[in-house]
Amino acid sequence: MTSEEPKLQFWYDFASPYSFLAAMRIDDLATASGVEVQYRPLFLWGVFKARGWERPPATFAARVDYMWRDVARHAARAGHPFQRPSTFPRNSVLSDRLACVALREGWVAPLTRAVFEAAFVENADIADPKVLAHVVEGLGGDGHAAVAQAQAGPAKQHLQDLTDEALSLGVFGAPSFVAEGELFWGDDRLGEALDWSLEHRVGESREAAR
Amino acid sequence: MTSEEPKLQFWYDFASPYSFLAAMRIDDLATASGVEVQYRPLFLWGVFKARGWERPPATFAARVDYMWRDVARHAARAGHPFQRPSTFPRNSVLSDRLACVALREGWVAPLTRAVFEAAFVENADIADPKVLAHVVEGLGGDGHAAVAQAQAGPAKQHLQDLTDEALSLGVFGAPSFVAEGELFWGDDRLGEALDWSLEHRVGESREAAR
């Protein structure tokens, strides 16, 4: 019996700049660590409302200015292109639902990167169904069909269920990472979350016990 | 002419758990980098009010629970003792004013570490003048005299002036670091802030120009 591969849940929303930073690097880091990433879209605005934030911290002027500067510094350090979106926050609900469709069908990782790049590199309006269809087509998929699915009941319910699950795990912002039940918040905690999933994986104790 | 030593402003408040984490490690890191730390106490509640936060994000339940877990993880990684204070946030205004007294008199670094340890290791009530006098005495100072100075007009004005200066620099939370005019927020940005002060120091361009 081999030890189960450690897993890390990656909770994100396409309106979130720090989720963009995390999405750009999580697969490379996780692969290097031998950790499996479980993509988990959520609806961040719904999380904020459930937590009692009618006005999220990141919408206050001083903090917004800082955030874009900080995100630009981090993108530059990572050597990744970045463009501040002309509208913030974007309405992300349709793109989050599209990620639910892709999750069910097994293409969520490339879709996630492509939507984040549309939002934070190309300054595209990811609330626009045509923009999302174009993103899907860039991945070789049927854009019209995928967006139609994202607009239908099952995808709406899937996103609601995932958002509720995130709340039950203690999530209050994005990105968040959950490793063996332990919550980490923010792109800057990605390394620690990966370490945690390696150090505390369920298989580890079984290994040690043999 | 030798290049001027690079400087890093460290803005903090004694109610702030992440300021505690930063204070525990900033001197060692800065010394290793050859950067001079400039201690800058501020009154964080005043910053929040000025920014329009009647209720700071860190007072929401889900976020508070996470914060203590996160601080405990970081203290453990750093090998530093930590105890969650029985009251949060503590009223920090008198301790912040005491730091202004120590700043003026040249003993702010040891006073800062000692107050943070009282608050976040010993669970002492740093709003209590007797607690603060005891901290000062532990450093070999005159506790009664120092606390009396902290309660007097000049110290109050000094803290107000520093808080106003922080606001003018774009500060919205603590700890914050300012390196050659560039703002960094959060204990997890300390390394980047030190790098910035080294890479962008004023003396550097003079050196290069010679």
Tell me the per-residue pLDDT of B109-129, one tens digit each, with 9 for 90 and over.
999 999 999 999 999 999 999
The SS3 call for residue B150 is helix
Q: What is the pLDDT of residues A19-57, one digit of tens each?
A: 999 999 999 999 999 999 999 999 999 999 998 877 766
Please report, as a single letter, which amino acid is at residue B12.
Answer: Y
Contact status of A199 with chain B (Cβ, < 8 Å): no
DSSP for A193-210 reads: HHHHHHHT-HHHHHHHH-
pLDDT band at A60 (very low <50, low <70, confident <90, very high): confident
Contact status of A180 with chain B (Cβ, < 8 Å): no
Q: Read off the pLDDT of each residue in A88-117 and give the average, rounded to a whole number.
A: 98
Classify residue A16 as left (phi > 0), alpha (psi -120 to 50) or beta.
Answer: beta
Contact status of B78 with chain A (Cβ, < 8 Å): no
Please report, as a single letter, which amino acid is at residue A159.
Answer: L
Can you give the pLDDT at residue A204?
52
Q: Mark yes or no for CB contact B62/A172 under 8 Å.
A: yes
Can you give the pLDDT at residue A153?
97
Contact status of B195 with chain A (Cβ, < 8 Å): no
Please give, rounded to a whole number of angstroms, the shortest distance from the CA of A62 to a CA of chain B. 6
Q: Read off the pLDDT of each residue in A2-22 and give the average, rounded to a whole number.
A: 92
Can you give the pLDDT at residue A209?
40
- The pTM of this model reads 0.92
Q: What is the ipTM for the molecules in this complex?
A: 0.90
* Residues A98/A155, Cβ–Cβ less than 8 Å: yes
Q: Considering chain B, what is the average pLDDT of its residues?
A: 93
What angle do the packed helices B17-33 and B61-78 form, to 10 degrees? 30
pLDDT at A172 exceeding the cut of 60: yes
Percent of chain B with pLDDT over 90: 86
pLDDT at B30 exceeding the cut of 60: yes
Which residue in chain B is spatially nearest to A74 when comparing CA positions?
B192
Which residue in chain A is spatially nearest to B58 when comparing CA positions?
A57
pLDDT at A78 exceeding the cut of 90: yes
Give A185's contacts in chain B (Cβ within 8 Å).
66, 70
Q: Read off the pLDDT of each residue in A80-91 and give the average, rounded to a whole number.
A: 96
Q: Read off the pLDDT of each residue in A90-112 and give the average, rounded to a whole number.
A: 98
pLDDT at B57 exceeding the cut of 80: no
pLDDT band at A58 (very low <50, low <70, confident <90, very high): low
Please give, rounded to a whole number of angstroms, the shortest distance from the CA of B115 to a CA of chain A. 28
pLDDT band at B136 (very low <50, low <70, confident <90, very high): very high
Cβ burial of B64 (10 Å; 0-12, 13-18, 19+) is middle
Among the partner-chain residues A57, A62, A171, the one whose CB lies closest to the CB of B57 is A57
Contact status of B168 with chain A (Cβ, < 8 Å): no
Interface test with B, best of A55, A60, A171, A199 (most B CBs within 10 A): A60
Q: Mark yes or no for CB contact A60/B53 under 8 Å.
A: yes
pLDDT at A110 exceeding the cut of 80: yes
pLDDT band at B54 (very low <50, low <70, confident <90, very high): confident
Can you give the pLDDT at residue B133?
98
Q: Read off the pLDDT of each residue in B137-155 and give the average, rounded to a whole number.
A: 98
Q: Mark yes or no for CB contact A170/B70 under 8 Å.
A: no
Q: Read off the pLDDT of each residue in A176-199 and give the average, rounded to a whole number.
A: 97
Residue A83: which residues within 8 A CB-CB, separation 6 or more? A120, A121, A122, A123
CA B206 – CA A93 distance, rounded (Å):
51
pLDDT at B7 exceeding the cut of 80: yes
Q: Mark yes or no for CB contact B189/A70 under 8 Å.
A: yes
Q: Mark yes or no for CB contact A183/B73 under 8 Å.
A: no
Contact status of A58 with chain B (Cβ, < 8 Å): no
